[in-house]
Amino acid sequence: MAFSTQRYNALIEEIRPIQYPSLLKTTYLDHAGTTIYAKSVIDAYHQDLTSNLYGNPHSESPASWLATKRVEDARLAVLEYFNANPDDFDVVFTANATAAIKVVSDCFRDQGFWYGYHKDCHNSVVGVREVATAGSQCFTSSAEVEEWIEQGPSSSSQGLKLFAYPAQSNMTGYRPPYHWCRQVRGGDKNSQQSTFVLLDAASYLTSGRLDLSNADHAPDFVAMSFYKIFGYPDLGALLVKRTARSVLAQRKYFAGGTVDMVTVIGGAFHAFKRSNLHDFLEDGTVPFHNIVALRHAISFHSRLFGSGNNISKHTAYLSKLVYDELSQLRHANGQSVIEVYKDPQATYGDPATQGPIIAFSVKHPDGNILGRSHFEELAIECGLQLRTGGVCNPGGIGSMLQLKNWEMRRNFEEGARCGDGFDTIGAKPTGIIRVSLGPMSTQGDVRRFAAFVKMFFVDKGAQSSPSSPPASTSISAVEGCPVFPVRPSEQAAYQVWDRRWCVIEERSGTPVKELEHLKAEIDVHTEELILSHLERRLALSLWDVPEAPDKRLSTPVKRIYDIYDNPAVNTWLSEQLGCQCVLAHYRPQDPALSPEATTCAVSWCAQERADKDDLRDHYKSHAQAFMDAHPFTTTGPVVRKNAGRSRSVRFIDLFKRTRTRPSMRTSIALAEKQMLTPPSQVTLSSDFANLHFQKVSQITVTSVEQVR
């Protein structure tokens, strides 16, 4: 029988109130950030810690030996989870996926290497390029990677090489081909391997499961964060192929726990531990208490959700529902409401190419982009939790939002930062809205989110949404200078530089308003501000602007400028203009004071409010209407009749009730016995291979061994 999404969803809804009570009063849509931990994991972990004593694994006490055993048990459990043979792989515990990536980076850095990475890589993977002494290359598409593989990785560099890519983009959910791992290494013509593959699996493992049973086809290094798989613990790991031992063994730094001998007096000597890869890669004491929790997390995750294939199918179905719902939304004028950012090679509903992530922007009827901060603010008030911004994926942001390198650099100079209020600059969004689903997501979550978008952001024609003023066709980089020509398609991009600089007369301290003989142009290709007067020319970097002594920003009423302290620039200006003057740069406008920042984003409202706080209160009134119409989908667990009453109390109560009615004793005792019997397993029929659910919250864990 085929996989039944409806039956699977019904079982998820059944266990959610018991296992995930934190979801009772929220709609959680940020599983790519972290998924949710099950109550049973925390209960079992609590029981474990209060029943056992764990010591530092570097000691020899019984408590230390127990901790060591638990760590090694967890190491094997991780390998088993990924069908990885211990003869082929080792597990190195780290703080998170980023720390796992850094372990590889540090080992390669000590030898010098060339680095290639896919554009969809997370910042943590991109950062490795800074220590690649033999150069680096960003592959801007999967087609570029395929071409590079066909040419042979040896064409990039003759020495040590590392290629990294994500198993799933944390921005769009695109899943590049897994077979690259084998193909990249297949390009090595030398007998000794010189090209290695690092797979960032952090985002992928929330809804997918790697099968590493075929070591020849597997990556050399797999980075992961367990909180993205199980919700808890906050722990990471690096899975390492043992064939990569030679390149890792060249590591120079050593720490406590990684060496067998160190001398410091009379000479410098050290000897690394060499029994296992993790022996010389796990610096210091491993977080053994978190590793104890990991064993419980793996055990209960399998009990709750069964095979990884079922999770993958379930989340793929839900993400396609979201994609279909958003894609078909239209304003009254026929314009699409949502622009989904999707890789052309990905297909929603196909777990091989697309994960359960939807990245998008909301558009006004005139095509302008709605500020994502408005969307998130209203979503929070309505009990929806999602992610907005650049999501630490610069390649995805640049390619999907069609932001050129100079535009992203311009955005930074304008004040755009992680978590700021700059929604759009130059008529383009600076980030996206992201919805991501996980194993415990349900169709109810999807329906509630779709209802939220339909209620607030689809224009029905009753009132037109506000539109941004058209970009000026007259761009003058320096205030008072003649305008310079800009192609119509680039006017919005250049708009932030309109009258961005000024010339200050030193005597009066005021800007010079008439500079008809001084020309100022911007060249985005060379990233320069070019000043010219008659036959003389001066070029300045667009990004080398005066540093502001404080954090104040310009306002619509008052513009704040900072003076260049470069003597060469100011001397040149003074000589050309025939007076003592200096060049100054106006600070960016405060985005919180723009009209868009205080205008309600609800399509049929669009009220202008006094300030951001007033707007937030206004959104609460909209949210209340939504909450009344669309309550949370997960209801509280059904309380059993004798919940919280001990067996002895129930026996005494039974005895009292049956003393006066002996004839009822047998039937009542039978009923009580049935009530005390542990609940049966909630299972699916044989058409769901390996899938079963247990009401594990009602299992009493008396020892660690019971959940092994």
| CATH number for position 235 | 3.40.640.10
Q: Does residue 391 sit within a domain?
A: no
Which domain-ending residue is among 301, 323, 354?
A: 301
Dist. CA 254–CA 574, nearest whole Å: 58
Which domain-ending residue is among 537, 572, 593?
A: 593
Which domain-ending residue is among 301, 330, 359?
A: 301
Helix-helix angle 612-629:443-457, to 10 degrees: 130
Range of the domain at 257: 42-301
Q: Does residue 670 sit within a domain?
A: no
Dist. CA 28–CA 206, nearest whole Å: 14
So what's the pLDDT on residue 241?
97
207-226: per-residue pLDDT in tens? 999 999 999 999 999 999 99
Q: Does residue 404 sit within a domain?
A: no
So what's the pLDDT on residue 620?
95
Decide: helix, strand or coil at residue 261.
Answer: strand
Q: Does residue 242 sit within a domain?
A: yes
Dist. CA 252–CA 237, nearest whole Å: 21
Q: Which helix (H) or strand (E) holds 362?
A: strand 357-362
So what's the pLDDT on residue 299?
95
> Can you read off the two tokens belonging to residue 195?
């090209």
Q: Is 96 exposed, middle or buried (0-12, 13-18, 19+ CB in 10 A)?
A: buried
Tell me the residue type at 289. Answer: H
Q: Does residue 673 sit within a domain?
A: no
Q: Is 611 exposed, middle or buried (0-12, 13-18, 19+ CB in 10 A)?
A: exposed
Q: Does residue 126 sit within a domain?
A: yes
So what's the pLDDT on residue 454?
97
Among the listed residues 317, 435, 347, 350, the one whose alpha carbon sits nearest the alpha carbon of residue 6: 317
So what's the pLDDT on residue 687?
36
Q: Does residue 474 sit within a domain?
A: no
So what's the pLDDT on residue 192?
75
So what's the pLDDT on residue 589?
87
Dist. CA 520–CA 484, nearest whole Å: 7
In degrees and rounded to multiples of 5, residue 148 shows phi and psi of -65, -40
Dist. CA 337–CA 365, nearest whole Å: 7
Domain count, the chain: 2
- Say how many CA atoms lie within 13 Å of 390 toward its Cβ: 23
Residues in the chain: 708
Q: Tell me 259's DSSP state.
A: E
So what's the pLDDT on residue 392?
96
Dist. CA 541–CA 519, nearest whole Å: 16
Q: Does residue 339 sit within a domain?
A: no
Question: Which residues of the chain fall short of a pLDDT of 70?
Answer: 1-2, 154-157, 187-191, 421, 462-473, 635-708
With tokens 């667009």, the residue in question is: 542
Using CA of residue 690, residue 695, residue 700, residue 703, what is the dihedral sign? Answer: positive
Catalytic residues, by residue number, are 392
Q: Tell me 230's DSSP state.
A: H
